[in-house]
Amino acid sequence: MSPWSLPKILAGLHDDIERRLATARGALSHPGTKGDASEHVWLELLQTYLPRRYHAEKAHVVDSNGEFSQQIDVLVFDRQYSPFIFRYEGQIIVPAESVYAAFEAKQVIDAGQIDYAQKKVASVRRLHRTSLPIPHAGGVYPPKPPGHILGGILTLESEWKPALDEPLLRALSTKPDGRLDLGCVAAHGMFACDAEGRYTITPQGKPATAFLLELIARLQTSATVPMIDVRAYARFLG
């Protein structure tokens, strides 16, 4: 019999994330430092376990009209087909066409933080995304319509009691353009929204691991980002 245990491996991944988030919240006193540490925990999780075609960073998003999103704590974007990522003094800017998902990372979840996360996600979804025809050996495929950008919130705890119940669902239903598709409250559970806008709450379990696997599954179904029109960005050169 194998000495390995898949349930223990998956549980251990969640336990490590919850422990690190709790340490960041309890041991660090400065709010900014505490927030940065929490963001780093989530970013490291995705940077370690997402397939290599995806990348996760704290970043801004820009479109070919020169419009920018708000800063996104955890942005998941393409690195295989997107031609440029701008980095300067720790700041990262990626083209709108490359974005798969945008998450806000906070210490706790409540109505105010959900509203804040919805506005952040909406600032990404409102950006213009180009899409070119795709050449192949037998001809040309038509331009691929830009897909739905996943949005969500990642936290350690909930301000509500019970932690994940009707108040959470009421808060989630307020902004259609900033709909949060996935959320993880590491100490309590996770939520997910289907294509029809129906939410499912999964309490307890191992939420961080469950969130990671659900995100990967949704990224698989979203396929590849559109073929970016690089010349649309080049026009800003003068």
* pLDDT tens-place string over residues 38-54: 899 999 999 999 999 99
pLDDT at 34 over 80: no
pLDDT at 129 over 70: yes
Decide if 147 is inside a domain.
yes
**Mean pLDDT in residue range 138-143:** 84
Split into its structural domains, the chain has a count of 1
Decide if 87 is inside a domain.
yes
Does 106 qualify as catalytic in the annotation?
yes
Decide if 236 is inside a domain.
no
Averaged confidence pLDDT in the chain: 90
The catalytic position among 18, 39, 73, 181 is: 73
Give the predicted TM-score (pTM) of the model.
Answer: 0.93
Decide if 233 is inside a domain.
no
The catalytic position among 18, 63, 78, 104 is: 104
Decide if 235 is inside a domain.
no
181: pLDDT confidence band, cut at 50, 70 and 90?
A: very high
Decide if 56 is inside a domain.
yes
List the domain range (segments joined by +) for residue 167. Answer: 6-133+141-224
Burial of 99 (0-12, 13-18, 19+ CB in 10 A): buried
**Long-range CB contacts for residues 160-164, cutoff 8 Å, separation at least 24:** 160/109, 160/110, 163/187, 163/188, 163/189, 163/203, 164/188, 164/189, 164/191, 164/201, 164/203
The catalytic position among 18, 58, 78, 106 is: 106
The backbone torsions φ and ψ at residue 154, rounded to the nearest 5 degrees and listed phi first, read -125, 120
176: pLDDT confidence band, cut at 50, 70 and 90?
A: confident
Contact status, residue 119 vs residue 161, Cβ threshold 8 Å: no
What local confidence, expressed as pLDDT, does residue 173 receive? Answer: 85
Does 73 qualify as catalytic in the annotation?
yes
Q: For residue 159, give the 3-state DSSP assignment.
A: coil
Does 58 qualify as catalytic in the annotation?
no
**Residue 159 identity:** E
Decide if 234 is inside a domain.
no
Decide if 231 is inside a domain.
no
